[in-house]
Amino acid sequence: MQLRIGPDELVIRGLYETLSIVNDVLIGLIFLIGSFLFFSDATMVAGTWLFVAGSVLMLVRPCIRLTRRIHLQRINPALSPETARDF
């Protein structure tokens, strides 16, 4: 069995994987900070806005995956869109 992966594909996969990881870390931090802000009535509004921002970032995750698939299909149309490394 031969596996042919070009250097462009590796760079693209790495870029989108990094974007996904950064997005996931931001989601975690935003929800954590928002949770702490809910302990005080004075900061509850700020906590609510952080939850909204975290929810938006959760919508960004599938957009990153979809953009990655489209990008990979454009550089190699013969490539199967299914991959075990789909994050």
**pLDDT, tens digit, for every residue of 32-85?**
999 999 999 999 999 999 999 999 999 999 999 999 989 888 887 776 656 545
Helix axis angle, 7-37 to 44-75, nearest 10°:
170
Query: For tokens 């789909």, what's the residue?
Result: 86
Q: What is the pLDDT of residue 2?
A: 42
- Please tell me the distance from the alpha carbon of residue 1 to that of residue 42, in angstroms, as a whole number: 62
The answer for residues whose C-beta is within 8 angstroms of residue 21's C-beta and 6 or more apart is 87
Sign of CA dihedral 23, 24, 25, 26: positive
pTM given for the model: 0.77
- Please tell me the distance from the alpha carbon of residue 26 to that of residue 54, in angstroms, as a whole number: 8
